[in-house]
Homo-oligomer: A and B are copies of this chain.
């Protein structure tokens, strides 16, 4: 069987699969499942093109990894064939532990971080492939002596980020997010075992940092997307509450498993296999099909929120630098109750507040390092005139039904 497959990709043109084992991993049902999980959850409600999947993103990151390996080797960085294969596997599987609507699910049904799940999936696959993933897992868990390999998988300039900024920008149509990924990759090098960027690439790095920031505000933290996600969180919480009370729900078997059971990180060692078994069957279709069935459910909140989501009657979002006053919130709650004309409900499901921050994106644990022509290495923030200071910003939001009187 020919495993030299080429995928058409509107972003890069073509993606060539570099190793037979990579082909086999792609064929595995664990990986095929990523075809049914959108990369950006509900973002397509604002950007209708944003329907691309984690499957496609993983292939894209793989493609960039093969390019990065070529560039580094051309600069005499030592990467053995085994290491090249392993780092390709590591990037291919870096998101294998993501569930549908990840951010939402992690707040409701599955209290396990997706990276833990990724490792769990990789270990299961490693068993199935007779230990061929040993080195990849080592790199993924940052236990390999060549630090830069891990940085290519998960660091300030990893191929994950490089692909998702590019791909999300492409499919949303938000041109502000386009990055010069090819230029950045061509400028990569290794010094003292760590990834650095040649001085000539500094403008591309600056552009990259800015593109990332613009993508947060225009896409990842878009307030309408925020509203949709918060509504979905509340649908699932409500469903979980009802399940706990024993109310029957028309949902798929895998979703039922997570609704009618509790599962936490600490259960992994004992019940990891059971978790993986059900988690591996969960995808966007379970969630959306559930919402569609909830539309006709007797519970008012469950059906109200589900209808609002499916028919895209998204809640209004007010943003503010300061917290909302309790008076104002109370007023909104009253009006919402009137609007809904059902006083018998827990209004917290319909009017809710919170804070949004870009902090998770701003951590600069391992900063980008610039390699100067004279051999010196400096972190990008130390370079006068190029320090892009990524401020952490928090905003308060208040969500409630549109068109309340």
Partner of A292, one of B10, B171, B286, B385: B286
Partner of A16, one of B52, B180, B186, B253: B186
Contact yes or no, B14 A182, CB < 8 A:
yes
CB neighbours (8 Å) of A217 from chain B are 203
* A204 sits at the interface (CB 8 A): yes
* A59 sits at the interface (CB 8 A): yes
* A8 sits at the interface (CB 8 A): yes
One digit per residue, 1 when the CB lies within 8 angstroms of any chain B CB and 0 when it does not, for chain A 54-79 equals 01100100000000000000000000
Bound-complex Cα distance A170 to B29 (A)? 28
CB neighbours (8 Å) of A173 from chain B are 8-11, 13-14
Instruction: Give the number of copies in the complex.
Output: 4
Bound-complex Cα distance A370 to B266 (A)? 51
Partner of A206, one of B29, B214, B281: B214
Closest to A311 in B: B29
Tally of contact residues, A, Cβ under 8 A:
61
* A35 sits at the interface (CB 8 A): yes
One digit per residue, 1 when the CB lies within 8 angstroms of any chain B CB and 0 when it does not, for chain A 182-214 equals 110010000000000000000110110010001
Question: Which candidate, A42-50, A134-142, A349-357, is the interface stretch facing chain B?
Answer: A42-50
Partner of A180, one of B52, B176, B391: B176
Contact yes or no, B52 A49, CB < 8 A:
yes
CB of A368, distance to nearest CB on chain B (Å): 16
Partner of A289, one of B13, B59, B214, B252: B252
Shortest 5 CB-CB distances between A and B: which pairs?
Answer: A289-B289, A8-B173, A10-B173, A51-B51, A176-B207
10 contacts between A and B (CB under 8 A): A13-B175, A14-B183, A49-B56, A175-B183, A203-B218, A206-B210, A206-B214, A207-B210, A253-B293, A385-B393
